[in-house]
Amino acid sequence: MVIFIDQNSGAIGTRSLTSYYDLFVSLERALGKVLLPVDRNASEPNRLISSNAAFLELSRSVATEIFSENGCKTKDDPVGLYPTLDALGRIKRAQKDCEALDVVAADFLEQVGAAVIELLPSQVSSIDKPNERPVSESGPRHQPDASRSKARA
């Protein structure tokens, strides 16, 4: 969970971050155990998907890429929407490039992507919400030096 403080009002709010493992349990619920069965005893990302998955190798590469793209070290680390979608896009591109992507596998990746969009909140950055900042951030964001801007003009 991340705590945010609105700089104008001083209001405090929280955002819950979804863990890697919780994302896959939620995906299993959303897509079904045939497409994405989660092995609840697995400790490694390449073993998180049970061997009876409809697209075993593709599902395992999804799990591994999402883990890697989000910089996860354990299955309890948080995952973000955009890194997760980036991982899915990279897998789809790689499958297309080696001509291993059939219509059904492409549909599976699209279903995973759609479910991810529904399950993960989009983390709005402080750039999008300038009056909101994480508590751990110290001081204001760096502003360009006005004298440098005048020198360029």
Interatomic CA distance for residues 132 and 4, integer angstroms: 6
- What phi and psi, each to the nearest 5 degrees, are found at residue 150? -70, -35
pLDDT digits (tens, 9 = 90+) for 58-108: 999 999 999 999 999 999 999 999 999 999 999 999 998 988 788 999 999
144 exposure class (CB count in 10 Å sphere: 0-12, 13-18, 19+): exposed
| pTM (predicted TM-score) | 0.70
Nearest CA among 91, 153, 81 for reference residue 122: 81
Q: Write out pLDDT tens, residues 4-20.
A: 455 565 655 445 689 99
